[in-house]
Amino acid sequence: MQSSNGKTGEEEVPLLQRVPSIKESEIVGDYLEEEDLWMKVWIESKKLWHIVGPAIFSRLSSFSMNVITQAFAGHIGDLELASLSIANNVLIGFSFGLLLGMASGLETLCGQAFGAKKYHMLGIYMQRSWIVLFLCSVLLLPIYVFATPILKWIGEPDDVAEQAGLVSLWLIPLHFSFAFLFPLQRYLQCQLKTAAIAWISLVGLIVHVFVSWLFVYGLKLGLFGAAVTLNFSWWVLVFGLFAYTTCGGCPLTWSGFSIQAFSGLWEFLKLSAAAGVMLCLENWYYRILILMAGSLKNAKIAVDALSVCMTINGWEMMIPLAFFAATGIRVANELGAGNGKGAKFATIVSVITSTIIGLIFCALIMIFHSKFAILFTSSQDVMTAVDKLAVLLALTILLNSVQPVLSGVAVGSGWQKFVAFINLGCYYIIGLPIGCLLGWVFNFGVEGIWTGMIGGTAIQTLILAIIVFRCDWEDEARKATIQVKIWAKEDGADGENQITEK
């Protein structure tokens, strides 16, 4: 498309039209040779935290919605709390992890397309992700419909299983919201529209608090009301992000619904499935730890202590998960722009930053090792058990400050299928068997199981680190730019941006 000044439409379009505080050269990542190293680090850190900051806030807001709902359910009764917790953590946790992982495939596609300035493709990719994730959500429905017999089969008490099965039916709308929300979030993150995600997350959290009070205490709807608030609040997030996208928030990348979204679904499904398996193998790994602890001696104390540790780990994991998303986007943007050195430098800065934060939290756990459990329990036995697990918790937090960042590099580079095999081997062929051996054969109990699983995480992190830092980034950038051109040709962009600046 030729303009009056002789430039193409692609040359006229600024890479980031809506973020005036960040220069185009900073977004693209063209590192000038004469720049000082610390200036490079400062520039890259600004790009990184432009994504990480809002991502941490939005993840904490979403996590807090579930915590608030469980708190309201807990004030209704113990059975209500147990049933909602089981439905939320087991059933919703399963579909949440799978669909979240599948949506992360967009970080590869949208990130590289945005870096290559193929803006028109981002909207098409998001619509394809909606289609694929919605169909997968339909396939997962039997888990919710038959939740009661499933929960009884895995050993839950009959009253809890029956109540949780009923709650799971009420949470089906929440389940379907994931299919639309996660692609919207990644689509916007790849364009650095992170402020919009943070503000809409804040609105959703405020709405959730009000609606929870209204349904549980105002309208006296009990457990049904507590469950329905999650449906309501998460769909507020979906409609808020959708409205922002379609009502002028993304003029470069959203040009309306397209029939092209229905083409290339099989290839898109393969990438999404690989990303889903990769992240699910990580997400389920430490959930299995709690299930395994339930078969040990003094299982109640072991499970309670682990629940405290996993809750703390879950809160802190919001930070590494934000770095996971940010690193994937930064690496994909740089590779799509053909800047291999920029992708490598973004990886180094992200790993170092996340590790420093992990060391701080690791130190806090060790300093308050005998005190932090009091936030969750008044049982002296549980507090003593948590104290014994503090070192393992600190090591887990430290490893989790590095491992998700390296996984983010894999997502940005499109290595999901390869990393899924690494996760399978390290977690389930090495980590779990060693944990079982230490826990039951050598009678180290929950400490033995957790130690073995940490070993699996450590091996996986080491392998990813070797792969990432021995990578030929210029070759990866070359392959990414070629692949983006192929995608652009298949989707009608044909090498030239179709959206001009208005």
Please state the rounded mean pLDDT for residues 272-282. 79
> What does the domain layout of the chain look like in residue ranges?
49-270, 284-471
What is the distance between the alpha carbons of residues 481 and 143, in angstroms, rounded to a whole number? 41
Please tell me which residue, 422 or 30, carries the higher pLDDT value: 422
Contact between residue 334 and residue 111 where contact means Cβ atoms under 8 Å apart:
no
- List phi, psi (to 5°) of 2: -100, 135
Residue-averaged pLDDT of the chain: 82
- The CA-based diameter of the chain, rounded to the nearest angstrom, is 79
Residue 308 has which token pair? 């405290």
Contact between residue 175 and residue 181 where contact means Cβ atoms under 8 Å apart:
no
What is the distance between the alpha carbons of residues 208 and 314, in angstroms, rounded to a whole number? 20
- Per-residue pLDDT, 317: 86
The most confident of the ranges 14-23, 383-392, 476-485 is 383-392
Percent of the chain topping pLDDT 70: 86
- Categorize the per-residue pLDDT at 35 as very low, low, confident or very high, splitting at 50, 70 and 90: low
- List phi, psi (to 5°) of 256: 100, 175
What is the distance between the alpha carbons of residues 389 and 358, in angstroms, rounded to a whole number? 17
Which residue's structure tokens are 């936030």? 375
419-450 tens-digit pLDDT: 888 988 998 899 989 988 998 888 888 888 88
Please state the rounded mean pLDDT for residues 195-211. 92
What is the distance between the alpha carbons of residues 422 and 412, in angstroms, rounded to a whole number? 17
Contact between residue 189 and residue 325 where contact means Cβ atoms under 8 Å apart:
yes
Give the C-alpha distances (Å, rounded to integers) separating 288 from 104, 284, 303. Answer: 23, 6, 11
158-174 tens-digit pLDDT: 887 888 888 889 999 99
Please state the rounded mean pLDDT for residues 262-289. 79
What is the distance between the alpha carbons of residues 414 and 400, in angstroms, rounded to a whole number? 21
At residue 496, does pLDDT exceed 90? no
- Per-residue pLDDT, 376: 66
119-158 tens-digit pLDDT: 888 999 999 999 999 999 999 999 899 988 988 887 777 8
Contact between residue 451 and residue 435 where contact means Cβ atoms under 8 Å apart:
yes
Please tell me which residue, 112 or 27, carries the higher pLDDT value: 112
Give the C-alpha distances (Å, rounded to integers) separating 340 from 21, 34, 158, 331. Answer: 25, 18, 56, 9
464-474 tens-digit pLDDT: 999 998 999 99
- Per-residue pLDDT, 241: 96
- List phi, psi (to 5°) of 501: -70, 135
Please state the rounded mean pLDDT for residues 319-342. 89
214-267 tens-digit pLDDT: 988 888 888 888 888 989 999 999 999 999 999 999 999 998 998 988 888 888
Beta strands in 293-368 (DSSP E): none
Contact between residue 24 and residue 15 where contact means Cβ atoms under 8 Å apart:
yes
The DSSP result for 151-188, as a single string, is HHHTT--HHHHHHHHHHHHHTHHHHHHHHHHHHHHHHH
- Bridge partners of residue 8, in order along the sequence: 2
- Per-residue pLDDT, 154: 73
Nearest CA to 323 out of 288, 367, 355, 280 is that of 355
Q: Tell me whether residue 31 is exposed, middle or buried, using C-beta atoms within 10 angstroms of its C-beta: 0 to 12, 13 to 18, 19 or more.
A: middle
At residue 399, does pLDDT exceed 80? yes
DSSP letter, residue 260:
G
| Cα end-to-end span (Å), the chain | 14
At residue 23, does pLDDT exceed 90? no
Q: How many CB atoms lie within 10 A of CB 393?
A: 24
The DSSP result for 232-293, as a single string, is HHHHHHHHHHHHHIIIII-TTT-----GGGGSSHHHHHHHHHHHHHHHHHHHTHHHHHHHHH
At residue 382, does pLDDT exceed 90? no
What is the distance between the alpha carbons of residues 260 and 120, in angstroms, rounded to a whole number? 11
- List phi, psi (to 5°) of 499: -110, 125
Give the C-alpha distances (Å, rounded to integers) separating 23 from 29, 40, 154, 422. Answer: 10, 14, 55, 38
